[in-house]
Structure 1
Amino acid sequence: MAAAALRRLGREGAGLAARCGLGGHERDRGGSVRVRGVSTPVLRQPRFPRRAPWRGYRLIPADDELYQRTRVTVLKPESPGSAFIEGYSPRGFTISGSVVVGPCAVLPRTILQWNVGSWQDISFQSLALFRLLEPPVEVLVLGTGDRVERLHPAVLKQMRACGIAVEVQDTPNACATFNFLSTEGRLVAAGLIPPRGTYKEG
């Protein structure tokens, strides 16, 4: 009974125990205050949970599949008859499985050689082929080689007067633009000059 009362009193109980001849108090190895003659600690030092060392989170293969998945979509022609540019080189182009040497005119369902030597030969007359198409094309994409070349403004103005929008780009981008517009169902044609210093096979 006395021991239980002392446990409830804490430190004061320890002093009271000393005065009552119960042996005073002592501190054990764990830092708890005990009253001699009482087995249960009267006052225990607060214990804080040991904090685990901080660890940076490192992605595991499962995380990579879940969070870092990359999806690549390769454009393909929606109909078997549509021209699709698969690759290019300094010698020419690979279009719908066929190899075309030199500059070429890519029409919605036909591939022709284009009689120009360089971008400087592109004129209103050399673009006559694209104006004769039926149904008429909406967009004409011109690839001028390794870089974008500035065509004469009169040529672009005359083509717009015929209802044809002209996009002048370097040949690699012109190929991609033609494929994109073709898969979107647009009436598009391309006049392409092979780039000199690049090669790409789709």
Structure 2
Amino acid sequence: MMGRGSFALRWALAAARGGGALPGTGPGAGQPCRGHRLTPAPDELYERTTLKRLERDPALGLFVDGYSSWGFTVNGDAVVGPCAIVPRAILQWNVGSYKDITEESLALFRLLEPRIEILVLGLGDKVQQLDPGVLKRVKDCGIAVEVQDTPNACATFNVLVSEWRVTAAALIPLLGVERALQ
């Protein structure tokens, strides 16, 4: 028979151990437990830690799924050659290499409404030095510019889009590489 005396006894024991609180109300109360085991079983260690692909909300916009020497895969669609990805469209970008990037080739990004916050430039296999005057003209319009190699530019663009940032990307394909982003 469990009466008031047993409750008082449990409370007194908890207080003596330094708990001071009523049993079942202290830190950790109500948290799931593994029964008598204090550590996870070997078959529990890896089952809960893998995630192959995140679900994307279509309302977020365009994501770069992959890249290769021929172009890009954006939301499952193939885009051949250099491209400009703006919030609601994918456009062919008329540049052959980083040497062709001029004020005129970046004019599109200055004209967009609503104004983009960040322009991510993917310059191919490696980061190249662009004309500082060209970048300054874009920055003077209130647009931050991130210059990277194409793989990192694709990843950066995807992160910015998933954070609901108003961003655009101008991407030049790699030479002789084919890779899907995961």
The residue number in structure 2 matching 1:103 is: 82
The residue number in structure 2 matching 1:92 is: 71
Cα distance in 1 between the residues matched to 2:118 and 2:54: 19
Change beyond 3 A, Cα 1:180–1:75: farther
Q: How does 1:27-38 map to 2 (within 5 A)?
A: none
How many Å apart are 1:97 and its aligned residue? Answer: 1.5
Are 1:115 and 2:118 matched, yes or no?
no
Q: In structure 1, which of residues 179, 192, 195 is the aligned counterpart of residue 158 of structure 2?
A: 179
Q: Quote the sequence identity (%).
A: 60
- Provide Cα deviations, 1:36-86, integer angstroms capped at 9, x if missing partner: xxxxxxxxxxxxxxxxxxxxxxxxx94263379533363554334611110
Cα distance in 2 between the residues matched to 1:147 and 1:75: 28
Give the alignment's TM-score, normalised by structure 2. 0.72
Gap runs ≥5 in structure 1: 1-60
Aligned residues: CA RMSD: 2.0
The residue number in structure 1 matching 2:116 is: 137
Cα distance in 1 between the residues matched to 2:126 and 2:91: 23
Cα distance in 1 between the residues matched to 2:97 and 2:170: 11
Cα distance in 2 between the residues matched to 1:200 and 1:164: 29
Cα distance in 2 between the residues matched to 1:112 and 1:95: 11
- Provide Cα deviations, 1:79-110, integer angstroms capped at 9, x if missing partner: 34611110111000010121110000001110
The residue number in structure 1 matching 2:106 is: 127
Q: In structure 2, which of residues 135, 139, 145 is the aligned counterpart of residue 160 of structure 1?
A: 139
CA contact (8 A) 1:75 1:180 kept: no
- Provide Cα deviations, 1:136-177, integer angstroms capped at 9, x if missing partner: 100000000011111111111111100000000000010000
Cα distance in 2 between the residues matched to 1:177 and 1:148: 14
Q: How does 1:19-98 map to 2 (within 5 A)?
A: 62-63=41-42, 65-66=44-45, 70-72=49-51, 74-80=53-59, 82-98=61-77
CA contact (8 A) 2:122 2:170 kept: yes
Cα distance in 1 between the residues matched to 2:123 and 2:97: 8
Cα distance in 1 between the residues matched to 2:177 and 2:70: 10
CA contact (8 A) 1:77 1:83 kept: no
Give the alignment's TM-score, normalised by structure 1. 0.65
Three-state SS of the structure 1 residue aligned to 2:128 is coil
Cα distance in 2 between the residues matched to 1:75 and 1:158: 37
CA contact (8 A) 2:60 2:161 kept: no
CA contact (8 A) 2:65 2:76 kept: yes
Three-state SS of the structure 1 residue aligned to 2:58 is coil
Q: Which runs of 4+ in 1 moved over 6 A?
A: none
CA contact (8 A) 1:144 1:168 kept: yes
CA contact (8 A) 1:75 1:179 kept: no
Higher relative contact order (CA 8 A, sep 6+): 2
Letter in 1 for 2:106: L
Structure number, greater radius of gyration: 1
Three-state SS of the structure 2 residue aligned to 1:173 is helix
